[in-house]
Structure 1
Amino acid sequence: MDSKTEQPTLDKDLIEKAATALLKYVSKQQEEKSNDILADKVHFVWLIVSTHRFLDITKDKPVSIPLKHPLYDASTEICLITKDPQKTFKELVASKNLKRIRKVIGISKLRKKYQPYEAKRQLCNSYDLFMADDRVIPLLPKLLGKCFFQRKKQPIPVCLKNEKHFEREIFKACNSTYMHFSPGTCLAIKIGRTDMTSSQLLENIVTAVPCIVNKIPRKWKNIQSLNIKTQFSTSLPIFNADPFTQIFK
């Protein structure tokens, strides 16, 4: 612990060992269950942040966290939800040749065409990633329904006020992860993918953790533990607060 900054030093060796063990586990599961959901599929690696104190925070817009190695690549299929008229944004996507954006939906079309639950479910399953103009983000929980939030595919907010910065904002969103606040003592944040190396996972964690902790009330004083996991694995610890250290009391 650095007494001046009151910030713990992350153990990089421990993090890389945990990442290596996690990737080996996933690889073994894929070999053993060749016909299962785990087989030949890339999964997200999650950073689980546990806090000492209850976080009584709810935000419509998630917090952007930069990553060293992006979670999304050129093969990612994106659906962009925009303000009306959607034609303006469709033309922007075409003019910038943003092939990753496979569909543009205006807020009026979303409200009209995707009312039934089955329509929402099919939309959720049709794309890898959803982005939305940050001006319509507050409207989306009601319009999209539970399926998006249960599958943790909430749209990522992008600032589309200035057309000149359109491409930059899309690129920035693809190179970040997002922290969604909700009341409780646990936060789950996508930190990598199972097709990354342990070194890449390490670099993402070391890059992201200071930004994540800085957004949490009381910062490091409120961090009880950090773990990594996939959807189908157990959690592996990469940091635990010293219960005898004064700053955590």
Structure 2
Amino acid sequence: MAVEKKEEVKGGVPKAENKGQARTARALKKKGVATRRESQDKIRTDATHFNLDAQGRTAIKALQKYYNEQKSQSKSALFPEIDFSLHLMAVYKKAARVTPDKTSAYRKIELPFPLQSPATSTVCLIVRDLHMKDKEYNDPDVDKQAREWQEKLLIEQNITSAQITKILTRRQLEREYHTFADKRSLASAYDLFLVDNTVMKAVHDICGKEFHKAKKYPIAVKTNRPLAPQISKAFRITLMPVFKLKNRVSIKIGHLGQPLDELVKNMNECIVQLRHYCPGGTANIQSLYLQPTTSTPSLPIHASLGNI
């Protein structure tokens, strides 16, 4: 596994983006406390402890062979990104007693390669309302402001329907999708949901449960900044659950229709982040598996028999 190169400044402290970060890094170094970046660099360097690159590559090859056999025998699995998505399963020796961050039970992991193809995926963008006066707010033409957003993004950022399949405003979401059936239908209609960060809490309150059930977790974006790179990044985001009292987690790393090298690199990045976020650290990881959505077969790539 490749080791990241670090630029250094005086004192052996990793180069920071600004002076404040540099001061913080130096203070932590003086106290003997590793920064998050240094911790992750050490994990990447120490990856041979698990020898998971070779183990993972062998397991993914076997699962892809199984996938190709199933694909040739059955025509029902038309969507490999759904039917044969691949997950890294981790089992802990001891579950966390508390959720580390009360604001979120998930950690975002940015992968080297997208989880699904942007060219064949559908994207729904949920944005704030442009006009909040009663006349516009209660306009019978519920998608009028969504059309304004579409025109605005096309003119200002050259964002087309090829990148954003559907645009909804917060008020439109509230008015058109008020029953559980409507919310379930919305959650299953698109592959990826992007939400303006200014209305993320409101969207979660309106239909967060249905998104959760469908495993379609919305990604926050900033509409006042260039959207194209944010969309590209969103396709590479996977989530790691950090719920308390859970002794196993599942992290999506891609699908079996992807090239082998892409899946291996995605797996390696997930392992780096898993070892960083795992309660108790590396010593608390009992076993790791690679498992397709179909649940069969699942292949182990690491096991630890020791106690924490």
- Tell me the TM-score range normalised by the shorter chain: 0.7 to 0.9
The 5 Å alignment of 1:157-172 reads 157-158=220-221, 160=222, 163-172=224-233
Pick from 27, 30, 33 the counterpart of residue 68 of structure 2.
27
Residue type matched to 2:68 in 1? S
* DSSP-derived class of the 2:251 partner: strand
* DSSP-derived class of the 1:115 partner: coil
> Residue deviations 1:117-172, cap 9 Å, x none?
221122122211112123433333441154322221121222x16x2343332222
The 5 Å alignment of 1:1-249 reads 8-34=49-75, 36=76, 38-39=77-78, 41-42=80-81, 43-55=84-96, 56-57=98-99, 59-60=103-104, 62-72=106-116, 73-85=118-130, 87=146, 89-95=149-155, 96-98=157-159, 99-144=162-207, 146-158=209-221, 160=222, 163-183=224-244, 184-232=246-294, 233-241=296-304, 243-244=305-306, 248-249=307-308
Provide closer, same or farther for how the CA distance between residues 134 and 74 of structure 1 changes in structure 2, counting only shifts above 3 A.
same
Q: CA deviation at 1:89?
A: 4.5
Q: Which has the higher mean CA deviation after the structures are superposed, 123-132 or 172-181?
A: 172-181
Aligned pair count reads 238
Provide closer, same or farther for how the CA distance between residues 46 and 213 of structure 1 changes in structure 2, counting only shifts above 3 A.
same
> Residue deviations 1:190-236, cap 9 Å, x none?
10112112222111111222123212332212222221111112321
Alpha-carbon separation, structure 2, partners of 1:40 and 1:132: 25
Residue type matched to 1:193 in 2? H
* DSSP-derived class of the 1:105 partner: strand
Residue type matched to 1:20 in 2? K
Alpha-carbon separation, structure 1, partners of 2:105 and 2:171: 20
Provide closer, same or farther for how the CA distance between residues 225 and 144 of structure 1 changes in structure 2, counting only shifts above 3 A.
same
Any conservation in 2 of the 1:65–1:177 contact (CA below 8 Å)? Answer: yes
Q: Which residue of 1 aligns with 2:25?
A: none
Alpha-carbon separation, structure 2, partners of 1:11 and 1:171: 28
- Choose between structure 1 and 2: higher helix proportion: 2
Alpha-carbon separation, structure 2, partners of 1:51 and 1:91: 49
Residue type matched to 1:172 in 2? K
Any conservation in 2 of the 1:78–1:103 contact (CA below 8 Å)? Answer: yes
Q: Please report the TM-score for the alignment, with normalisation by the length of structure 1.
A: 0.83
Alpha-carbon separation, structure 2, partners of 1:190 and 1:59: 22
Q: CA deviation at 1:78?
A: 0.4
> Residue deviations 1:43-73, cap 9 Å, x none?
3111112222213326547322121221132
Alpha-carbon separation, structure 1, partners of 2:279 and 2:64: 32
Alpha-carbon separation, structure 2, partners of 1:80 and 1:209: 30
Residue type matched to 1:94 in 2? L
Any conservation in 1 of the 2:80–2:255 contact (CA below 8 Å)? Answer: no
Residue type matched to 2:201 in 1? P
Gaps of 5+ in 2: 1-41, 131-144
* DSSP-derived class of the 1:27 partner: helix
Residue type matched to 1:124 in 2? A
